[in-house]
Structure 1
Amino acid sequence: WAVFPVFISMLGIIATSFVIVTFVRYNDTPIVRASGREMSYVLLTGIFLCYAITFLMIATPDVGVCSLRRIFLGLGMCFSYAALLTKTNRIHRIFEQGKKSVTAPRFISPASQLVITFSLISVQLLGVFVWFAVDPPHTVVDYGEQRTQDPMTARGVLKCDISDLSLICSLGYSILLMVTCTVYAIKTRGVPETFNEAKPIGFTMYTTCIIWLAFIPIFFGTSQSAERMYIQTTTLTISLSLSASVSLGMLYMPKVYIILFHPEQNVPKRKRSFKAIVTAATMSGKLTQKGGDRPNGEVKTELCESMETNTSSTKTTYVSYSNHAI
């Protein structure tokens, strides 16, 4: 039963390691810088942990293994979705601020983003430490339907003493981050695609939500099955691996493809000022307001002409934000 989860995890670990090596090697190229190097490495760490947890879940239970399961079970997802939530929140705040003024919002620097991300991750770690204090990890033998009156002939399964409720609580915070990130992805879906990676993040979150919606009935629907532990472990590990694969495939494989096979596209883009972001936010708002009254093509043409007029009429130099991934 463990062959398929291990196979997926091995492929995922190899692919994630390849992406990390590629990003490190081309660390100073425009595509890597534009994707937000610091946050990318945090997200890749989370993806790696999501794959690696499979080996802890199938290992022979003892106090050490049970302790590591508690720590890393939700940590990989927490790393991933804390990073994605911070990214989408940043995009949302930048364009919301751009609709109000030309002043950049606070806490959009890479250092600020790392502080926010690790603050979110620390909540998960705090919850795990509380879990350790309230209920120290240990193993139990689950006899299930194989319990007999004669203890010498009874056969059971050695497992970590983690109830379904404890498991859901461990994953609950990460799922909350995932849902919140999906909400922000929906809010930023109308942002011009030339300014950010909100759309790939959106597709990633929609797909991930579908995976976990399928996970819940399968996981809890096997509560009375004789093969309950094996089915639940397989379902959980495959769901984690699929979630990691979605993030890796949608967010990083296109970048790696361009870096390796189309280096001519890996060139610096035109520098963006915050004024340009303000203009894009304003035009996006106007497009939303006028879209219901006029044909789509007519509205876009009018707004494009308006943007060109505004661009040609101003000669003011603004501070560049090209070093910050948007």
Structure 2
Amino acid sequence: SENCIRCPALEWPNDKRNQCIAKTEEFLSFTDGTISVSLLSITVLFFLITLLILGIFISYRDTPIVRANNRSLSFLLLVSIKLSFLSVFLFLGRPVDITCMLRIITFGITFSIAVSSLLAKTIMVCVAFKATKPGSSWRKWLGVKLSNSVVLFCSSIQIIICMTWLAISPPFQELDIHTSPGTIIIQCNEGSAIGFYSVIGYMGLLAAVSFVLAFLARSLPDSFNEAKYITFSMLLFCSVWITMIPAYLSTKGKNTVCVEIFAILTSSAGLLACIFLPKCYIIMFRPEMNQKACLLGSKT
């Protein structure tokens, strides 16, 4: 055509160069082939496993191995892991402003509650050991008040970070028309890079503190000591999110979403396996070990 006109930003010329047509939209949809089906299947499977473990713990809530490891924190940890698996559904589908905001809030807060619960468990192991000494002043710290305070305080900081981020510069839908010709990459923009890395950084700080305390407490002579399992879970957790950052920065569009979902699934499954599978094995297959006399006998 002799009369050329510029196509709108969201369109481009057809093969004959005589008409503007809409560009192809790219995002990770619920029906996006093998990738989406695989991620959804894994998510649902892990969610059902978490529900099963929660049911086992509720059914055996009065047994020594559940009671000894602070069952209220165990239930809170299971619920937060369950919610982290459910948060994967926010990462699928066409991104809009509200889902972009809900993604970071949901995964940031649920993971902070989970890691705070593990930190509280580790602190309680250390306090319980100190309290066994004659005349110890640590006995006044035993009980649910300390563990609840740790979880509430640590989680509240992450909530404040998230709310500040949303108030100042929240995540939003971004249309990338430059990376791939003829394609509109629909993705979430963090809004504030400082906000994003503050959420990730604080989560990493909690995990690092939990790892260090659990590592130091791993050899304490306590038959109910979960420290070694927490050490493994935090090591896996930190490894996943450290490797996730460069992968996140080097990808675009639905590949970035796949990286985020993989990190959420892997770290959540790691927490579930390291903390709860050993207990479920004893409850279901070694009931003779789920006796107070047996557990106390391993101390000596």
Q: Shorter-chain TM-score: which interval?
A: 0.7 to 0.9
Give the TM-score of the pair, scaled to structure 1: 0.73
Contact 1:61 1:160 (C-alpha < 8 Å) held by counterparts:
yes
Contact 1:178 1:205 (C-alpha < 8 Å) held by counterparts:
yes
> Which has the higher relative contact order, 1 or 2, with Cα contacts under 8 A spaced 6 or more apart?
1
More deviation in 37-46 or 159-168?
A: 159-168
Q: Is 1:212–2:241 an aligned residue pair?
A: yes
C-alpha separation between the residues in 2 aligned to 1:127 and 1:59? 26
Give the TM-score of the pair, scaled to structure 2: 0.78
Contact 2:61 2:71 (C-alpha < 8 Å) held by counterparts:
yes
Q: Is 1:241–2:265 an aligned residue pair?
A: yes
C-alpha separation between the residues in 2 aligned to 1:190 and 1:201? 12
C-alpha separation between the residues in 2 aligned to 1:84 and 1:110? 14
Pick aligned residue for 2:210 from 181, 186, 189: 181
**Which residue is equivalent to 1:157?**
185
C-alpha separation between the residues in 2 aligned to 1:210 and 1:155? 34
Relative to 1, partners in 2 of residues 1:116 and 1:157: Cα closer, same or farther, differing over 3 Å?
same
Q: Is 1:28–2:75 an aligned residue pair?
A: no
**Which residue is equivalent to 1:229?**
253
Contact 1:49 1:75 (C-alpha < 8 Å) held by counterparts:
no
**Which residue is equivalent to 1:295?**
none
The superposition leaves residues 17-55 of structure 1 with CA deviations (integer Å, 9 ceiling, x where unpaired) of 111111112221222111211100111122112212211
C-alpha separation between the residues in 2 aligned to 1:91 and 1:271? 15
Gaps of 5+ in 1: 148-153, 273-279, 281-303, 305-326
Q: Number of aligned residue pairs: give it.
A: 264
> Which secondary structure does the structure 1 equivalent of 2:190 belong to?
coil
Pick aligned residue for 1:196 from 212, 222, 225: 225
Q: Is 1:58–2:92 an aligned residue pair?
A: yes
Gaps of 5+ in 2: 1-34
Relative to 1, partners in 2 of residues 1:125 and 1:60: Cα closer, same or farther, differing over 3 Å?
same
Contact 2:289 2:295 (C-alpha < 8 Å) held by counterparts:
no
Contact 1:57 1:233 (C-alpha < 8 Å) held by counterparts:
yes
The Cα shift of 1:94 comes to: 3.9
Relative to 1, partners in 2 of residues 1:218 and 1:146: Cα closer, same or farther, differing over 3 Å?
closer
The Cα shift of 1:270 comes to: 6.9
More deviation in 174-183 or 104-113?
A: 104-113
> Which secondary structure does the structure 2 equivalent of 1:159 belong to?
strand
Pick aligned residue for 2:282 from 258, 270, 275: 258
The Cα shift of 1:267 comes to: 1.9
> Which secondary structure does the structure 2 equivalent of 1:144 belong to?
coil
> Which secondary structure does the structure 1 equivalent of 2:218 belong to?
coil
The Cα shift of 1:67 comes to: 2.8
Percent identity over the alignment is 27
Pick aligned residue for 1:37 from 57, 67, 71: 71
| Larger strand fraction of residues | 2
